[in-house]
Amino acid sequence: MTQPVDPNYLPADNRYESMPYIRSGRSGLKLPAISLGLWHNFGGIDPLENGRAMLHRAFDLGITHFDLANNYGPPPGSAEETFGAILRKDFAAHRHELVISTKAGYWMWNGPYGEWGSRKYLISSLDQSLRRMGLDYVDIFYHHRPDPETPLEETMGALDHVVRQGKALYAGISNYDAEQTREAVRILNDLGTPCLINQVKYSMFVRWPEEALLDTAQELGIGLIFFSPLAQGLLTDRYLDGIPEGSRASKPSGFLKKDQVTEENVNKARRLNDIARERGQSLAQMALAWVLRHPASTSALIGTSSVQQVEENAAAVEKLDFSADELQAIEDILAE
């Protein structure tokens, strides 16, 4: 559904009053507890005015961090174009208040230089991203996924290079496990461009970072930003009564497939929803608070398809703490 958009948008004066800002590791940069990603719903196939309305509301609620990647769309690149167009129209006077990130690592163009982790690919891709968004620099440039073939020194060297060029303010990694993170951090430290943050998938349904990464990140002094904290909508009330029209699982372009909306997942979500209600929250809000409970957490990186979802999710910060009994009740449901 397209949302009404204010063509003469001016950010709310009280935009910094409710959102907590959390330091990314031992860096100087703080990120909002809730950040907004443009993976879905900002592509060339999506209504631009809906994306525009969501960005307005997000910024009004203190969400200063917007996360992109070269390949977000569809088609690939179109989310950066949409974001650039909205940025020029509505946020031109506020660039210094925004943390904008992009990434390279997944397939972006044909041939040997269009994916993975070579210096050739990363630097070409960032130049393209800057052009699509109409920016001189991004705040964070990420290597999007580990490359088993390229020496890590080359990939990290490319991140160091773009930071020194001023095309990115900080270097980040994404989808790196604990050992890969340790190695990347060591190389970047040696180069003099510390690693700001690792962006990984984490939610009540996807818990691999608990094995070692949460503690490793804290030890190394880097931040962690968690993507798909709502398991693409499974950890909300979206699928409690079937797969609604217009939902991510209903769309051919969505990365959530119908067969991931299993009876088991939905049953767990129903029972988690009961705990959330007892806490006076929605399930989405509890799922966001849950990923933020670890001291290594910097931000929960959400996606949204409506202004209402932006508002509901930003309000998660009103109750972030859990009692030991609540945490145990959640564990019991997840363990079944």
Ligand X SMILES: NC(=O)c1ccc[n+]([C@@H]2O[C@H](COP(=O)([O-])OP(=O)(O)OC[C@H]3O[C@@H](n4cnc5c(N)ncnc54)[C@H](OP(=O)(O)O)[C@@H]3O)[C@@H](O)[C@H]2O)c1
Residue 297 interacting with ligand X (CB under 6 A): no
**Residue closest to 192 by CA, chosen among 160, 154, 155:** 160
Site for ligand X in 30-89 (CB under 6 A): 37-40, 67
Of 32 and 93, which CB lies nearer to ligand X in the complex structure? 32
Which residues 94-113 are close enough to bind ligand X by CB under 6 A?
none
Q: Which of 181, 216, 232, 273 binds ligand X (CB under 6 A)?
A: 232
**Applying CB under 6 A, does 209 fall inside the site for ligand X?**
no
Q: Whole-number minimum distance, CB 263 to ligand X, in Å?
A: 19
Distance (Å, whole) CA 290 – CA 203: 8
| 303: contact with ligand X by CB under 6 A | yes
Residue (156 or 249) nearer to ligand X, CB? 249
Binds ligand X by CB under 6 A, chosen from 135, 305, 307, 317: 305
66 Cβ neighbours under 8 A, 6+ residues apart:
35, 36, 37, 38, 55, 58, 83, 98, 99, 100, 101
Determine contact, residues 329/277, Cβ cutoff 8 Å.
no
Distance between CA atoms of 121 and 109, rounded to whole angstroms? 10
C-alpha span between 118 and 114 (Å, rounded): 9
Task: Please report the DSSP string for 270-284 in residue order.
Answer: HHHHHHHHHTTS-HH
**In angstroms, what is the minimal distance from the CB of 283 to ligand X?**
8
| Among residues 53, 213, 284, 289, the one that binds ligand X under rule CB under 6 A | 284
Decide: 261 and 231 in contact? Cβ < 8 Å: no
Tell me how far apart the alpha carbons of residues 175 and 199 are, in angstroms, rounded to a whole number. 6
By the rule CB under 6 A, 174 interacts with ligand X: yes
Q: Is 304 among the residues that bind ligand X (CB under 6 A)?
A: yes
Closer of 83 and 227 to ligand X (Cβ)? 227
Query: Which stretches of the chain bind ligand X, using CB under 6 A?
Result: 37-40, 67, 144, 174-175, 199, 227-233, 236-238, 247-248, 284, 301-305, 309, 312-313
